């Protein structure tokens, strides 16, 4: 995380006003892929890459936004009273927060906001959710208001869905708000109930970027979703009370799988088994059984790559190359699929050497130099100082 004191003095120099400073983390999903829209389980972890926000009130009714990450853009100024619209620019994320909060009946006054993050942008570690959450905390503090964590997460998800125009689930915002140091969070996407599961302090999260872009907007993602939902419809035609694959079992697939398109059957088998694995992973962490967790992660990767066909050769290779590097507990592709990052659970004492060796092996085999980050399970969004 960048130094909050540095952001504070940058904000003070730029806006001539002493700010309040907030932080919200990025995240990585430990296990539970493509289970969210089936009302199932996911298990993300907040990481120690985060976005900081410094905010101070203004008296001229303007909203002035600055991001150190986009310093070349300078400041952007908006009218706090005018209707706010998206413009496919980074300012959509903080402005969307103002728009959604205004829609909830809040009167948002003018303010100056400085952002500065070290969550890699567009790498699947959810820099966007961290911007939404940190801005929401900052703006709410200005009007002396607050929301319970799950409600705040929902409002920030709406920023992305309704203002920015990205169809994402609630996981990213939820973990950024509710994460806890040295813990993963098992989230039930049906009712947003959650359980924290301990990650030992001597375990590192090594996130390896294949540098291959995932294409959630592309077509693969909606196709997979449609295929798995078609399988659910077949089950529901026999067994009402299965509106989502969350409610289906592997026995259902044995009974009625023959009536499904082969691809639908495979996609559903991934979603149903992934839900079971995700719940089991929480139990393994609870017991401190890292070996079992590693086994579940390996099984999850095979299911994601095989049954769900959601991986790519580079991600499969990154997982394969990790297998015999000392310190590995478990490795799998994380995120929406078709590229992006793998998550490797690694003994802390070996993490640096592990990251170096994995990077070397991957570059030798693909000619691509991967970005590899050594992270730790960190706390959720909060005010600093
Ligand atoms: P991801 O969430 O996986 O990092 P997204 O494409 O969803 O990728 O979000 C990245 C976008 O979020 C950036 O292109 C930018 O518009 C915005 N963003 C993220 N971090 C910052 C920041 N520190 N300052 C300004 N905008 C940011
Ligand atoms: Mg995002």
| C-alpha of residue 102 to centroid of ligand 2, in Å | 22
173 lines ligand 1 (CB under 6 A): no
Which chain residues have CB less than 5 Å from ligand 2, an ion? 128
Cα 201 to Cα 153: distance, rounded to the nearest angstrom: 26
Active-site annotation, residues: 172
126 lines ligand 1 (CB under 6 A): yes
Q: Could you tell me if residue 244 is inside a domain?
A: no
pLDDT digits (tens, 9 = 90+) for 105-133: 999 999 999 999 999 998 889 999 999 99
Predicted local confidence at residue 217, as pLDDT = 46
| C-alpha of residue 101 to centroid of ligand 1, in Å | 20
Average pLDDT over residues 57-61: 96
Q: Could you tell me if residue 382 is inside a domain?
A: no
Q: Could you tell me if residue 155 is inside a domain?
A: yes
User: In this predicted structure, which of 52-66, 193-207, 209-223 has the lowest mean pLDDT?
Assistant: 209-223
Q: Could you tell me if residue 174 is inside a domain?
A: yes
Q: Quickly tell me which residue has 């962490």 as its tokens.
A: 285
Confidence of residue 293 (pLDDT cuts 50, 70, 90): very high
47: CB partners within 8 A, 6+ apart: 25, 26, 27, 28, 119, 125, 205, 207, 373, 375, 376, 377, 378
* Ligand 1 site-directed mutation target among 74, 75, 90, most atoms within 8 Å of CB: 90
Q: How far is CA 83 from the centre of its chain?
A: 29
203: CB partners within 8 A, 6+ apart: 290, 329, 345, 346, 347, 348
Q: Can you read off the two tokens belonging to residue 168?
A: 């994402």
Q: Could you tell me if residue 77 is inside a domain?
A: yes
Structurally, the chain folds into a number of domains equal to 1
Q: Could you tell me if residue 295 is inside a domain?
A: no
User: In this predicted structure, which of 27-36, 85-94, 117-126, 358-367 has the lowest mean pLDDT?
Assistant: 117-126
Q: What is the CATH number of the domain that holds 104?
A: 3.30.230.10
pLDDT at 210 over 50: yes
Average pLDDT over residues 275-300: 98
Query: Whole domain around residue 29: which residue ranges?
Result: 4-197
pLDDT at 216 over 60: no
Q: Could you tell me if residue 268 is inside a domain?
A: no
Q: Could you tell me if residue 265 is inside a domain?
A: no
pLDDT digits (tens, 9 = 90+) for 218-271: 568 889 999 999 999 999 999 999 999 999 999 999 999 999 999 999 999 999
CA angle 333, 187, 224 (to 5 degrees): 45
Predicted local confidence at residue 215, as pLDDT = 60
Residue minimizing CA distance to atom 24 of ligand 1 = 67
Task: Check residue 68 and report its DSSP letter.
Answer: G
The rounded mean pLDDT for the chain is 96
29 lines ligand 1 (CB under 6 A): no
DSSP letters along 212-228, please?
PPP-TTTSHHHHHHHHH
Predicted local confidence at residue 167, as pLDDT = 83
Predicted local confidence at residue 122, as pLDDT = 87
**Burial classification of residue 322, based on how many CB atoms lie within 10 Å of its CB (0-12 exposed, 13-18 middle, 19 or more buried):** buried
Residue 353 has phi, psi (to 5 degrees) of -65, -40
Instruction: Check if the beta carbon of residue 378 is closer than 8 Å to that of residue 47.
Output: yes
Which is the closest atom of ligand 1 to the Cα of 125? 3
3-state secondary structure of 253: helix
115 lines ligand 1 (CB under 6 A): yes
């Amino acid at each position: 995380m960048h130094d909050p004191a540095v952001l504070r003095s940058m904000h003070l120099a730029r806006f001539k006003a002493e700010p309040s400073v907030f932080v919200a983390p990025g995240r990585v999903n430990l296990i539970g892929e493509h289970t969210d829209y089936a009302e199932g389980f996911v298990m993300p972890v907040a990481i120690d890459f985060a976005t900081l926000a410094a905010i101070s009130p203004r008296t001229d009714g303007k909203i002035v936004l600055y991001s150190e990450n986009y310093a070349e853009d300078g400041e952007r100024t908006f009218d706090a009273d005018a209707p706010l619209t998206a413009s496919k620019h980074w300012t959509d994320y903080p402005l969307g927060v103002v728009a959604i909060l205004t829609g909830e009946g809040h009167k948002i006054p003018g303010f100056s906001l400085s952002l500065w993050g070290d969550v890699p942008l567009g790498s699947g570690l959810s820099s966007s959710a961290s911007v939404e959450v940190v801005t929401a905390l900052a703006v709410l503090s200005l009007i002396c208001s607050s929301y319970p964590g799950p409600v705040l997460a929902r409002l920030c998800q709406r920023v992305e869905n309704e203002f920015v125009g990205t169809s994402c689930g609630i996981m990213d915002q939820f973990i950024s708000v509710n994460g806890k140091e040295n813990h993963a969070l098992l989230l039930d996407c049906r009712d947003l109930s959650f359980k924290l599961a301990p990650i030992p302090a001597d375990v590192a999260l090594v996130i390896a970027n294949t540098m291959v872009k995932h294409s959630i907007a592309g077509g693969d993602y909606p196709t997979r979703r449609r295929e798995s939902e078609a399988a659910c419809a077949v089950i529901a035609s026999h067994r009402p009370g299965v509106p989502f694959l969350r409610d289906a079992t592997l026995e259902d697939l044995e009974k009625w799988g023959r009536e499904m398109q082969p691809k639908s059957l495979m996609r559903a088998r991934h979603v149903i088994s992934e839900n079971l694995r995700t719940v089991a992973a929480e139990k393994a962490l609870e017991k401190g059984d890292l070996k079992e967790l590693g086994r579940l992660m390996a099984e999850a990767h095979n299911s994601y790559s095989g049954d769900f066909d959601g991986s790519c050769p580079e991600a499969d290779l990154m997982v394969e190359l990790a297998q015999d590097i000392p310190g590995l507990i478990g490795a799998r592709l994380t995120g929406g699929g078709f590229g992006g990052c793998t998550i490797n659970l690694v003994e802390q004492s070996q993490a640096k050497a592990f990251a170096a060796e994995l990077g070397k092996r991957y570059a030798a085999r693909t000619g691509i130099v991967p970005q590899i980050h050594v992270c730790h399970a960190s706390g959720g969004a909060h005010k600093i100082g």
